Amino acid sequence: MKISFSKPAETTEGALVAGVFEGRVLTASGQRLDQQSGGQVTRAMASGRFTGKRDQTLTLPAPSGLNVQRLLLIGLGKPEKLDPMAAEGFGAAAIGQLLTAGDKQVTILVDAVDGMGLSSAAELAAHVAAGAKLRSYRFDKYRTRQKDEEKPSVSKVVISLAENAEAKRRFAKLDCVIEGVFLTRDLASEPANVIFPESLAEQAKGLAEHGVDIEVLGEKQMRKLGMGALLGVGQGSERESQMVVMRWMGAGDETAAPVAFVGKGVTFDSGGISIKPGANMEDMKWDMAGAAVVIGLMKALALRKAKVNAVGVVGLVENMPSGTAQRPGDVVTSMSGQTIEVINTDAEGRLVLADALWYAQNRFKPKMMVDLATLTGAIIISLGDHYAGLFANDDGLAEKLAGAGKAVGEQLWRMPLDDPYDKQIKSDIADMKNVGGREGGSITAAMFLKRFVKDTKWAHLDIAGVTWAKKDAAVTPKGASGFGVRLLDRLVADHYESA
Q: Coil, strand or helix: which one is 158?
A: strand
- Alpha-carbon distance of 388 to 442, in angstroms, equals 11
- Enumerate residues 263-292 that contact Zn ion by CB under 5 A: 266, 269, 287
Q: What share of the chain is helix, strand, coil (3-state, %, to 5)?
A: 40, 20, 40
Out of 163, 219, 341, 348, the residue judged to bind ligand BES by CB under 6 A: 348
C-alpha–C-alpha distance, residues 414 and 321, integer Å: 34
Catalytic residue among 32, 53, 78, 276: 276
Footprint (CB under 6 A) of ligand BES, residues 210-269: 269
185 is catalytic: no
Q: Is residue 269 a contact point for Mn ion (CB under 5 A)?
A: yes
Q: Are 136 and 479 in contact (CB under 8 A)?
A: no
Residue 36, judged by CB atoms within 10 A of its CB (0-12, 13-18, 19+), counts as middle
The piece of 268-276, 334-342, 436-444, 461-469 that touches Mn ion (CB under 5 A) is: 268-276
**Should residue 388 be labelled a site residue for ligand BES when binding is judged by CB under 6 A?**
no
Annotation marks residue 350 as catalytic: yes
Q: Catalytic pick from 135, 168, 264, 350?
A: 350
Minimum CB–partner distance for residue 406 and ligand BES (Å):
24
Closer to ligand BES by CB, 315 or 349: give it: 349
Query: Residue 81 CB, nearest distance to Mn ion (Å)?
Result: 41
Which letter, b or e, does each residue of 69-95 get, where b requires 16 or more Cβ atoms within 10 Å of its Cβ? Answer: bbbbbbbbbbbeebebbbbbbbbbbbb
Q: How far is the CB of 391 from ligand BES (least distance, A)?
A: 15
Least distance CB 398 / ligand BES (angstroms): 22
Interface residue with ligand BES among 346, 355, 371, 489 (CB under 6 A) is: 346
Provide the CB-side half-sphere exposure for 480 (13 A, CA): 31
Q: Which of 264, 278, 277, 296 is nearest to 197 (CA)?
A: 264
Of the candidate residues 31, 36, 344, 393, the single one contacting ligand BES (CB under 6 A): 344
- Return d(Cα 295, Cα 207) in angstroms, integer: 8
Q: Does position 374 bind ligand BES by CB under 6 A?
A: yes
| CA 127 to chain CA mean position, Å | 17
The least CB distance from residue 282 to Mn ion, in Å, is 14
With respect to Mn ion, which residue has the nearer C-beta, 34 or 348? 348
Binding site for Mn ion (CB under 5 A): 269, 346, 348
**Mind telling me the catalytic residues?**
276, 350
